[in-house]
Amino acid sequence: MGKTVIDKRPGSGAGRGGFRQAQAWLHTWCGLWFSWLLYAVFLTGTLAVFQEAITHWMTPEHHAEEAAQEAAQAAAQAAGQVASRGQRLAWGAAFMEKYHQGAEMWEIWPTDAQGGGELKVYWFDKQREYADADLDTATGEPMADGNHGAARATEGGHHFVDFHYELHAGQAGLWVVGVAGMAMLVALISGVITHKRIFQDFFTFRARKGQRSWLDAHNAVAVLTLPFQLMIAYTGIAISAMSFMPAGIWSQYGTAPNAIQTYAAELGEPGKPPLSGQAMAVPDLESFAARGQALMGQPVRAVVVDHPGDAAARVGIYGWNSDADADKRLSPNTGMAMFSAASGELLQLRMPGKAEGGGASLAQSVMGGLHMVKFGGWPMKWVYFLCGLAGTAMMATGAILFVVKRRSKHMGEFGSATATVYRLIEGLNVAAIAGLGVACIGYFWANRLLPLGMANRVQWELGVFFGLWLAALLHGLLRAPAKAWLEQMALLAALCLLLPVLNAVTVGDHWPAQLLRGDWESAGVELGAWAFGLAAVWACRVLWRRRALVTGKAASSTANKLQVGA
């Protein structure tokens, strides 16, 4: 690295220069300090778009079971041996009456949208945790734990969802991500103000020009997906508004831990009556299900009984969204019909795609659908995935640009500690960008290498993810930046490209077989790993060439000095 020059020109800093210079300062520093966290949130959020496919790949034991269940269901339907929805509801109610008398709520999922599938029952246990049981669809008897076979315990793709919005740290993590989201909005808006030629910047890329190339790449991906970045940051904050602005809820419901849950329940299902104290048997649920289905125009997904055994009980019928309907609606809400269990009177009706609580609730539902891509099907998921990758690249190029720009010239922002701070930033860049990639793919490797019957297996998988990321941070801080980048990128490439080999060795499955049997989710995960691996190989090639170039220049400079000295 050549000698660093300190730029002493006036006009730098938030309080100096004009409005545009102030926005540039805000864009640089607000973007830098949050770029590492936002990069992690964006990358995991992008992977979370395909959380179902990732979960499918990470639970290979379920593949054969799902195929066997589909075959058994088809055979039972052909032989006319499938229990009716009414029979399944009666079995669910009998199970709750026998084993969980006194539960404040019964929730029975009788069938899938086609009238078959599993029979599941849910309730709140004594700790108000959601509990569930599977019932035999031929007899109504509870099935033993582990009836799904020796499936591996894993969070699957949901790990990326949890990390994306709360960093696996509960409410504290939600607040941290919320603050980062607001910083992203500030950085985006100040970035737009900073660029005089934002449209021209989009069509400008000067390759192999060092700092200029990083700036062009940063501008191109930012401008290309600017509407998406603004939408995803704003909706991400808006859908958690109740957590970020709880004063209104506190004023009406108090500050008890369950205040927000009570508020949400009353907002979504207003008018829940108090217990009457008069005993009343739970009526036949099929008649309510049939009426609810006719009113909603959707097949029945769930039947919920509030206050079962009391004369004030009510029965809620919830519908299934078909893929075709869900693709067309921005609000993912299903239909719902609520009845009085005693009189059968219709208390409340919500049509599919609508929301209780007026326009504000519907707007929040729509924002949730926009943020979580609940519409548009697979084509829209791919649009979100590619835009998410572009947003991730925008943050990575911005963080790298900061360092590249200051390698040759800086402004002494941290006084005598400036060089140390810049070195720390370089190490953080390596860990946040390459190291997080290693941690993500390491999570997939842990899924295949950890023993099936291992205690606390879910926590071990997460431990591998965070352990690799911590190791990458230490490596990035201790090694020279050029070597750290190259070594972590090489590790990332190897782990990605060898993932299909690991799957073939440990599970006996591979993507050609997956494609032949139409398992696009598993094949997509492995082909996606290859795509990331090839991108990492390309990055290694660029880093290797640059390193050779720098080494050659240094050797040439040394030789010239020796000649002059001689």
Tens-place pLDDT, residues 442-451: 999 999 999 9
**129 — pLDDT class (breaks 50, 70, 90):** confident
Of the listed ranges 168-177, 327-336, 485-494, 535-544, the least confidently predicted one is 327-336
pLDDT of residue 295 exceeding 80, the answer is: yes
Contact indicator for 178, 243 with CB cutoff of 8 Å: yes
Highest mean pLDDT of the ranges 215-224, 246-255, 319-328, 430-439: 430-439
Q: Where are the alpha helices (DSSP H) in 356-480?
A: 358-371, 377-408, 418-430, 436-449, 457-478
Q: What is the pLDDT of residue 161?
A: 96
**439 — pLDDT class (breaks 50, 70, 90):** very high
> Which pTM value belongs to this model?
0.83
Q: Which residues contact 69 (CB under 8 A, 6 or more apart)?
A: none
Reference 313, options 346, 280, 335; nearest CA is: 280
Q: Which residues pair with 6 in a beta bridge?
A: 410
Strands 409-410 and 5-6 turn out to be parallel
Provide the 8-state DSSP code for 14: T
Structure-token match 């009113």, residue found: 295
Three-state SS for 131?
Answer: strand
Q: What is the pLDDT of residue 327?
A: 82
Q: What is the pLDDT of residue 2?
A: 46
pLDDT tens track for 205-247 = 777 777 777 777 877 777 888 899 999 999 999 998 888 888 8
Structure-token match 């940051």, residue found: 233
Instruction: Check residues 117 and 169 and name the one with the higher pLDDT.
Output: 169
Q: Where are the alpha helices (DSSP H) in 79-225?
A: 85-99, 158-166, 170-194, 198-202, 211-224
Contact indicator for 476, 484 with CB cutoff of 8 Å: yes
**207: amino acid identity, one letter:** A
Of the listed ranges 64-78, 397-411, 448-462, the least confidently predicted one is 64-78
pLDDT of residue 198 exceeding 70, the answer is: no
- How far is the CA of 439 from the CAs of 163, 165, 320, 471, 496, in angstroms? 13, 18, 37, 9, 11
**461 — pLDDT class (breaks 50, 70, 90):** very high
E runs forming strands in 58-151: 105-109, 119-124, 130-135
Please tell me the distance from the alpha carbon of residue 302 to that of residue 39, in angstroms, as a whole number: 38
pLDDT of residue 38 exceeding 90, the answer is: yes
What mean pLDDT do residues 180-206 have? 79
Q: What is the pLDDT of residue 495?
A: 97
What mean pLDDT do residues 434-445 have? 97
pLDDT tens track for 343-377 = 999 999 999 988 877 788 888 889 999 999 988 99
Q: What is the pLDDT of residue 270?
A: 64
pLDDT of residue 11 exceeding 50, the answer is: no
What mean pLDDT do residues 263-292 have? 86
Q: What is the mean pLDDT of the chain?
A: 86
Q: Which residues contact 203 (CB under 8 A, 6 or more apart)?
A: none
Strands 119-124 and 130-135 turn out to be antiparallel
**503: amino acid identity, one letter:** N
